[in-house]
């Protein structure tokens, strides 16, 4: 997909890094020109609708598809009894982080076994979507049920530490002795409910059958090349025979790192029927896809009279599926941020009968840091300290686990800048001591930390005889602004106006790119684009025999062999250099609580972020704002509500699974502090996609305690917990 800046306006001169620019694909999106996975046409297109299991665990006794097959327009019903045989069904599940993003999921329609409520048991394929939906309603199934459990608390006795995460469990010093001798200590359990991604665009796949052994797969995912590899592996195809495209992605938040089950069902049907097929999840089926696992953290913290941490024990458990094991880096974050001599970190998982969890914005940190930051607030009060003062006492320039110095860490500056802007000095310490009219008022804060990743990435830059620069990479734009920052970096590298830059991304044959996750896209692909463009600049200088102005570039490119100038570049993760690389933030929140009704408002949220070099302050601010809003949902609204008797999520829609809406969001401010860092990545970029959510829920929860005097340790904090 080629995207250009069609309306240059303020972008008509070379913008360079650091300029706040509008998204170059924005007009295409708001006018409906941007096509998403379920909008690509195909000749003879068939439509598939998945039929899902109505029990949580057991086996299909019989499956009656006659009614569906007799429905006008229905072409076929795929089940475990008639589906094609492909290598996917030979894959053995293992317990070594089986839900990793680099391998296909456990096969669907494998046999009659049911492992979770909502598991697809059939795919009805028809000439129209309406016919497929009618046919799906005619499929009848009967089951032999087995005992099931969908409650994390009931599975804690079965918790185990996967081999892949065992090395992350650390014991250092003597935590018990330090706890016994400390000036202040807490011993509490904090919990987080299961959450679901719910991006605006539901997971969808359109498989275009070309009849010559080639397939084009338009799929909602966060990495076209990753999806291509997994689909080729699952179906025993040569990777080059599948072109995966994800030109536009309507939000993902981690749900598209591993292709959804609709992609595999669409591929199965296309291969069986030798036709183009489209499968789209319903909103209800999105709740049978990946999710953030439920979590519990037992924490014992202790400090001296100054607030310096003397002991930190974090014993965490997250839910995983019985069918596969999913793990997160949950317990390390606090120890990295706050060095402590006496440490015990213990992470394990407990199996329940649900779909496999998966990465959800800031996986591990969004859970582990937010729950720990709530406990630190509790410790500050136990020690009679201001919560910000306790964090300042424990702020360090080295990674508390590895002992390595950070490439940069402007966390103290975020504390100071954020506190000053928020007016933290006006906060009274005692809970229930501040009011806003008839409401109780509370102010809370928390720290955020995330990784500053650089992953393998490549890009190509081509300057043609018309003076148009085209940059290419298989990068994904999941709403984060990748199109725009690639254009911006390219324009700045060559001194070109933005309207002379074209960006091609979102196709698997393009130069290598990591998936869009971990806040690594700008630092990785951005650096490759910059290097490729500098390669073009060198060739121009050689042709000209000296410096080149933008007006001369087209003439020089026309003189080059082939009538254009092209350069490619690759960036790889940094070599071990004895440095730690992280992004940091300070989050401040104000809440107002109606004590009679238990209703909580969040009139103010402020995030002060240290994220290295900011390429585009406008899109970066949008990313942090989005993270803050998701943090608000984590703190106050989002949870999957099960009927545990049925093992089924009951609020599987956007009417009852509550996420923050416009009426919930009031004044939010994002401040980026100056943090030069030439070591974090080739461009000094750290990435901002995840840092906004880390610490946000804790800041709100801590503000609720300050307002009410009630320490709610289970997120979300709903009115029933306050009343």
pLDDT of 106: 87
For residue 228, give both structure tokens: 């291509």
Residue-wise pLDDT for 646-692, tens only, equals 999 999 999 999 999 999 999 999 999 999 899 999 999 999 999 99
Calculate what percentage of the chain has a pLDDT beyond 90. Answer: 93
Q: Which of the four pLDDT bands, split at 50, 70 and 90, describes residue 164?
A: confident
Shared-domain flag, residues 636 and 500: no
pLDDT of 100: 64
Shared-domain flag, residues 404 and 552: no
Can you give the pTM of this predicted structure? 0.96
Shared-domain flag, residues 552 and 691: no
pLDDT of 425: 98
- Give the least confident one: 60-64, 101-105, 524-528, 631-635: 101-105
For residue 520, give both structure tokens: 């690594």
pLDDT of 13: 57
Q: Which of the four pLDDT bands, split at 50, 70 and 90, describes residue 163?
A: confident
Is residue 189 a part of any domain in this protein?
A: no
Shared-domain flag, residues 440 and 483: no
Residue-wise pLDDT for 536-566, tens only, equals 999 999 999 999 988 999 999 999 999 999 9
Residue-wise pLDDT for 401-428, tens only, equals 999 999 999 999 999 999 999 999 999 9
Active site annotation includes 416: no
Q: Which of the four pLDDT bands, split at 50, 70 and 90, describes residue 10?
A: very low
Closest alpha carbon to 224 in 246, 256, 248, 199 = 246
Q: What is the mean pLDDT of residues 272-301?
A: 97
Shared-domain flag, residues 460 and 446: no
pLDDT of 99: 55
CATH number at residue 427: 3.30.365.10
Which of these three, 518, 541, 571, is where a domain ends?
A: 571
Question: Cα–chain-centroid distance for residue 67?
Answer: 41
- Give the least confident one: 9-23, 301-315, 375-389: 9-23
Which tops the pLDDT comparison, 6 or 502? Answer: 502
Shared-domain flag, residues 264 and 231: yes
Shared-domain flag, residues 657 and 630: yes
pLDDT at 373 over 50: yes
Q: What is the mean pLDDT of residues 179-199?
A: 97
pLDDT at 11 over 50: no
Phi, psi of 484 (to 5 degrees): -70, -45
Is residue 44 a part of any domain in this protein?
A: yes
Q: Which of the four pLDDT bands, split at 50, 70 and 90, describes residue 95?
A: very low
Shared-domain flag, residues 628 and 712: yes
Residue-wise pLDDT for 563-583, tens only, equals 999 999 999 999 889 999 999
Mean pLDDT of the chain: 95
Shared-domain flag, residues 512 and 607: no
Is residue 185 a part of any domain in this protein?
A: no
Residues counted in the chain: 723
Question: Other C-beta atoms within 10 Å of 29: how many?
Answer: 14
Domain tally, the chain: 3
Structural domain containing residue 557: 2-31+455-571
pLDDT at 90 over 90: no
Helices vs strands, H then E, count in the chain? 17, 28
Question: Distance between CA 311 and CA 91 in Å, rounded?
Answer: 44
Shared-domain flag, residues 562 and 584: no
For residue 416, give both structure tokens: 């100071």
Q: Of residues 439, 507, 675, 690, which has the active-site annotation?
A: 690
Rg over alpha carbons for the chain, rounded to the nearest Å, is 26
Residue-wise pLDDT for 211-237, tens only, equals 998 999 999 999 999 999 999 999 999
Q: Which of the four pLDDT bands, split at 50, 70 and 90, describes residue 301?
A: very high
Question: Burial letters for 119-131: b for 16+ Cβ neighbours within 10 Å, e otherwise?
Answer: bbbbbbbbbebeb
Q: Which of the four pLDDT bands, split at 50, 70 and 90, describes residue 166?
A: low
Strands across the sheet with 2-4, in order? 2-4, 501-504, 469-472, 457-464, 564-571
Phi, psi of 589 (to 5 degrees): -135, 145
Bridge partners, 584 (sequence order): 449, 610
215 neighbors 270 (Cβ within 8 angstroms): yes
> 716: cis peptide before it, omega within 30°?
yes
Which of these three, 523, 553, 571, is where a domain ends?
A: 571
Shared-domain flag, residues 447 and 504: no
pLDDT of 101: 75
Shared-domain flag, residues 586 and 467: no
């Amino acid at each position: 997909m080629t995207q250009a800046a069609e309306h240059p306006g303020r972008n008509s001169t070379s913008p360079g890094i650091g300029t706040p620019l509008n998204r170059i694909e924005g007009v295409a999106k708001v006018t409906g020109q941007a096509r998403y996975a379920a909008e690509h046409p195909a000749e003879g297109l068939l439509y598939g609708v998945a039929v899902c299991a109505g029990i949580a665990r057991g086996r299909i006794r019989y499956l009656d598809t006659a009614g569906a097959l007799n429905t006008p327009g229905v072409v076929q019903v795929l089940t475990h009894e008639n589906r094609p045989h492909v290598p996917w069904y030979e894959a053995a599940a293992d317990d070594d982080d089986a839900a990793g993003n680099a391998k296909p999921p456990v096969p669907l329609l494998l046999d009659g076994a049911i492992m979770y409520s909502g598991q697809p048991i059939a795919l009805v394929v028809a000439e129209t979507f309406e016919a497929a939906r009618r046919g799906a309603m005619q499929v009848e199934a009967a089951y032999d049920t087995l005992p099931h459990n969908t409650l994390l608390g009931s599975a804690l006795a079965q918790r185990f530490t996967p081999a892949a995460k065992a090395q992350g469990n650390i014991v250092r010093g003597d935590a018990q002795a330090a706890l016994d001798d400390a000036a202040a200590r807490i011993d509490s359990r904090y919990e987080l409910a299961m959450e679901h991604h719910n991006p605006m665009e539901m997971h969808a796949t359109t498989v275009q059958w070309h009849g010559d052994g080639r397939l084009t797969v338009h799929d909602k995912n966060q990495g076209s090349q990753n999806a291509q590899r997994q689909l080729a592996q699952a179906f025993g195809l040569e990777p080059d025979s599948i072109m995966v495209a994800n030109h536009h992605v309507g939000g993902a938040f981690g749900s598209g790192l591993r292709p959804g089950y609709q992609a595999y069902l669409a591929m199965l049907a296309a291969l069986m029927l030798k036709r183009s097929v489209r499968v789209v999840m319903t909103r209800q089926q999105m709740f049978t896809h990946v999710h953030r696992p439920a979590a519990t953290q037992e924490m014992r913290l202790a400090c001296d009279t100054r607030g310096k941490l003397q002991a930190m024990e974090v014993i965490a458990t997250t839910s995983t599926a019985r069918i596969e094991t999913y793990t997160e880096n949950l317990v390390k974050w606090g120890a990295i941020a706050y060095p402590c001599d006496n440490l015990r970190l213990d992470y394990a998982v407990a199996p329940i009968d649900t779909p496999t969890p998966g990465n959800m914005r800031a996986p591990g940190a969004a859970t582990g840091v937010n729950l720990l930051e709530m406990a630190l607030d509790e410790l500050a009060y136990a020690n009679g300290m201001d919560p910000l003062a306790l964090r300042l006492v424990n702020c360090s320039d080295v990674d508390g686990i590895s002992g390595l110095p950070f490439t940069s860490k402007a966390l103290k500056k975020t504390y100071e800048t954020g506190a000053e802007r928020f007016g933290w000095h006006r906060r009274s310490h005692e809970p229930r001591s501040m009011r806003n009219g008839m409401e109780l008022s509370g102010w809370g804060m928390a720290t955020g930390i995330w990784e500053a990743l650089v992953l393998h990435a490549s890009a190509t830059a081509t300057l043609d005889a018309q003076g148009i620069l085209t940059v290419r990479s298989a990068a994904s734009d999941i709403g984060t602004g990748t199109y725009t920052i690639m254009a911006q970096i390219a324009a700045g590298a060559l001194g070109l106006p933005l309207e002379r830059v074209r960006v091609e991304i979102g196709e698997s044959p393009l130069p290598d790119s990591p998936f869009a996750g971990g806040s690594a896209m700008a630092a990785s692909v951005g650096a490759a684009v910059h290097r490729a463009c500098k390669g073009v600049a060198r060739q121009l200088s050689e042709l000209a025999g000296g410096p080149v102005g933008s007006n001369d570039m087209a003439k020089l490119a026309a003189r080059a062999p082939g009538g254009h100038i092209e350069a490619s570049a690759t960036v790889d993760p940094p070599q071990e250099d004895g440095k730690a690389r992280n992004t940091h933030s300070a989050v401040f929140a104000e809440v107002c609580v109606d004590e009679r009704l238990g209703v909580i408002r969040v009139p103010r949220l402020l995030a002060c972020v240290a994220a290295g070099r900011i390429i585009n302050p406008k899109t970066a601010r949008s990313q942090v704002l989005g993270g803050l809003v998701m943090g608000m949902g984590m703190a106050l609204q989002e949870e999957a509500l099960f009927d545990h008797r049925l093992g089924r999520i009951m609020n599987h829609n956007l009417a009852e699974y509550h996420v923050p809406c416009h009426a919930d969001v009031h004044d939010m401010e994002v401040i980026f502090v100056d943090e030069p860092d030439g070591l974090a990545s080739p461009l000094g970029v750290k990435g901002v996609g995840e840092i906004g959510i880390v610490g946000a829920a804790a800041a709100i929860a801590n503000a609720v305690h300050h307002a009410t005097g009630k320490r709610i340790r289970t997120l979300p904090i709903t009115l029933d917990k306050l009343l």
